[in-house]
């Protein structure tokens, strides 16, 4: 065979090779996204999480993929969903809420975990310390707890004539006893009579509101709990039905028609968590990333709801509000 014919034959053979054998594209990393709530109620946090990833150079569908798992408010499903993500061999996991992060930590000691948590991550056993988390877990502490005295004080400013105030708390929270104690201590510090009702499901929330109405409570404080965010429409509707002025722990309640809210911006927490996941994908160990803590708190007042309840919001309270919904 002449040399020219041999080269031509070699070229035609190379063209016939299967395409994957000639150009193998590296697989992009997959991130697991686990949340205790339903997709419909918690998808508002996906966009800020993606924004955080983008700030570190990662874009879903381009150089990363994301596997989403939603517990639909059924906490008992979280261990199974966490194990499912571990089985999918994700490169890192974002766990929304400590109720999601605890089963994630139990499911793996090797896959990096970044959490968002309203509960103290040291108290619930997620990390050894805030500055030096250690292990494979770090995240953002949103500090939704610890603000009970502030919320109670704001509510008393808004409804000074309320001699009795009701409160609703979820006994299934990991730190339920701490939150109840803080509510009681805040009431004692302000010499305010308070009655706390436990509720974790939709029927129990209905029952709690009926009991608060029978108590003739002049106002209501809703304790911090991630599952309550998914039920915010129920809370707002019941507060309107019973005409009880209510303060909540997240802005989403006020945006849905609730009277007033005071707390951190959870969306910002998810953005910061996205940045941490991006940094981990670039090689930083989660145990070397200190747990971030919320530094900004928001007071949101729904003036339209206040007018419906016949309340006059003082100019002093309006002046310190971060946002007034009219």
| pLDDT on residue 241 | 97
Q: Do 202 and 303 belong together in one domain?
A: yes
Structure tokens at 107: 């499911």
Strands 193-198 and 260-264: unpaired
| pLDDT on residue 119 | 81
Q: Do 197 and 99 belong together in one domain?
A: no
State yes or no: pLDDT of 144 exceeds 80. Answer: no
C-alpha radius of gyration, the chain, whole number: 25
Structural domain includes residue 22: no
Dump pLDDT digits (tens) for 2-31: 444 444 444 444 444 444 444 455 589 999
* Cβ density class 45-74: b for 16+ within 10 Å, e for less: bbebbbebbbeeebebeeebebeebbbebe
Q: How many domains does the chain have?
A: 2
Question: Residue 92 to residues 55, 183, 203, 261, 274: CA-CA distances in angstroms?
Answer: 17, 36, 36, 33, 11
| pLDDT on residue 26 | 58
Which one, of 68, 106, 77, 66, lies nearest residue 227 by Cα? 77
Structural domain includes residue 43: yes
Question: What is the domain extent for residue 238?
Answer: 148-263+298-325
Structural domain includes residue 202: yes
State yes or no: pLDDT of 324 exceeds 60. Answer: yes
Dump pLDDT digits (tens) for 78-109: 999 999 999 999 999 999 988 899 999 999 99
Using CA atoms, how far apart are residues 254 and 249, in angstroms rounded to an integer?
A: 9
Structural domain includes residue 2: no
Q: Do 129 and 153 belong together in one domain?
A: no
The pTM assigned to this predicted structure is 0.79
Dump pLDDT digits (tens) for 184-205: 998 998 899 999 999 999 999 9
Q: CATH number of the domain that 73 lies in?
A: 3.40.50.2300
Structural domain includes residue 97: yes
Averaged over 224-242, what is the pLDDT? 91
Q: Which helix (H) or strand (E) holds 198?
A: strand 193-198
């Amino acid at each position: 065979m002449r040399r020219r014919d041999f080269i031509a034959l070699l070229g035609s053979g190379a063209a016939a090779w299967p395409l994957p054998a000639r150009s193998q594209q590296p697989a992009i990393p997959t991130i697991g996204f686990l949340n205790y709530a339903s997709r419909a109620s918690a998808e508002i946090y996906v966009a800020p999480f993606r924004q955080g990833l983008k700030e570190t150079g990662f874009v879903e569908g381009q150089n990363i993929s994301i596997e989403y798992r939603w517990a639909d408010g059924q906490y008992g499903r979280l261990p199974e969903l966490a194990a499912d993500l571990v089985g999918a061999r994700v490169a890192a996991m974002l766990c929304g809420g400590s109720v999601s992060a605890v089963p994630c930590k139990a499911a793996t000691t090797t896959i990096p975990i970044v959490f968002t948590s309203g509960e103290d991550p040291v108290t619930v056993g997620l990390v050894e310390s805030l500055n030096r988390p250690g292990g494979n877990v770090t995240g953002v502490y949103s500090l939704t707890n610890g603000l009970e005295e502030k919320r109670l004080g704001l509510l008393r400013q808004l409804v000074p004539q309320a001699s009795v105030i009701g409160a609703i708390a979820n006994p299934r929270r990991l730190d339920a006893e701490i939150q109840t104690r803080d509510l009681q201590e805040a009431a004692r510090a302000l010499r305010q009579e308070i009655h706390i009702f436990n509720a974790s499901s939709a029927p129990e929330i209905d029952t709690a509101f009926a009991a608060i109405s029978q108590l003739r409570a002049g106002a209501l404080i809703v304790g911090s709990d991630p599952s309550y965010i998914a039920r915010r429409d129920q809370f707002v509707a019941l507060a309107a039905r019973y005409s009880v002025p209510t303060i909540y722990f997240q802005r989403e309640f006020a945006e849905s028609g609730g009277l007033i809210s005071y707390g951190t911006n959870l969306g910002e927490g998810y953005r910061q968590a996205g940045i941490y996941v991006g940094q981990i994908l670039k090689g930083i160990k989660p145990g070397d990333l200190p747990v971030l803590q919320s530094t900004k708190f928001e007071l949101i007042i729904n003036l339209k709801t206040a007018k419906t309840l016949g309340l006059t919001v003082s100019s002093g309270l309006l002046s310190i509000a971060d946002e007034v919904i009219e």
